[in-house]
Amino acid sequence: MADVPVPERHGTPGGPADERVADADRERTVTTLREHVVEGRLTLDEFSERTGAALEARTRGELEALVQDLPAPREAGVQSLARPSRRWHVAVMSGHVTKGRWRIGARTHAVAVMGGCSMDLRAAEIEGPEVVISATAFWGGIEIIVPEGFEVDLRGFSFMGGRSLKLRDVPVVPGSPRIVVRGRAIMGGIDVKSRPNRVARRIERAAGRGAEDPVKDPGFDPDPLPADGTVTILFCDMVDYAGMTERLGDQASHRLLREHHRIVREALSRHGGREIKVQGDGFMVAFSGVARALRCAIDIQRTFHAYRPAEGGEPIAVHIGVNTGDALAEGDDFLGHTVIVASRLADAAGPGEVLVSSLSEQLAQGSGEFSFDGHRRLPLKGLERAQPSATLLWAE
């Protein structure tokens, strides 16, 4: 990813470069950057980086630095020199991967027939303010990766297959293009997910949590987590959020999603969990100790069990997976086998269930605080060996 230009200082302090700027000046710079994305001079991630810097700019010199290496946008009627766009991505009994710097057409098609198709849009160039991807998966899988902070709309239908939209809960990057995915999954899967970039995190830190998010106790500070080493990972996902959206509509289901986020975050605050990421209706959380993670899981399940929705709403159920082990830290994320097992356990858990790996259970048994049942070996997606696991009992 290209670094954001740093302004050079010329002249004496108090000159034009040090003049304070207003929101209108920042918005004009964002508009200019957006035009250069369409021209193919900036990728989506580069646009995000510079937009974040523009929103934080205080002086005219800082804004000018963001566009000083870019020519004036072309006039109407002048032919663009942007690279040709790629409109078809097809995998038939094979694999197809598109990543790096490439140009995506305003109307693009992805097809996977008994194969896998992956499209990474983070370093892509675009043709306009909206990109529409028609995705068809027949006995195959399609994965679409977008930058964090971009608005994504997943539409379509599934027949003996599935569609999923998992985006981290961060503010939308101002001026960012809209991405629409029209998915048809027939005995196949279509997954749209976001991946980190620095700007979304920076905007989130600058803006703080919105009014819809719970405010943490000022004295709350999660236990420090190791850069690399033993950590307990908890995944918590809502049950049937997609079906809830179809039954209740977007607004009512989104209100329930906000309630879900509030309840989970309040539990994290009480038990010292560190929120690593939120993707749609799912949380990934890290704990320095297994007991904290299990107490948090019990707290979450009991709270949702007692939750009574407002008129027109539905009860909220979640399924949780917990695993302990060595994990590799990358920035503010954790990677590796420990994380994968925790995620797969959450997927395998039933509504209202907390599935715990055998290692997490063994580490917690010495305290006598927790009870487990339903011991079994579970085959987990993508893993060769069945995972010994047990159900954490939480009912009072």
- Does the predicted model carry a pTM greater than 0.75? no
Among 205, 193, 66, 49, CA closest to 123: 49
Q: Cα–Cα distance between 73 and 68 in angstroms, integer?
A: 12
We find that the CATH architecture of domain 212-392 is 2-Layer Sandwich (3.30)
Q: What is the mean pLDDT of each run of 10 residues along the chain (396 residues)?
A: 50 64 79 72 74 78 81 52 67 82 82 87 77 89 85 86 79 76 89 68 44 37 53 93 85 86 91 86 89 94 89 85 85 83 93 93 84 90 86 89
Interhelix angle for 241-248 vs 250-271, to 10°?
140
Give the residue extent of every domain in the chain.
Answer: 1-80, 86-195, 212-392
Counting beta carbons within 10 angstroms of the beta carbon of residue 360, is it exposed (0 to 12), middle (13 to 18) or buried (19 or more)?
buried
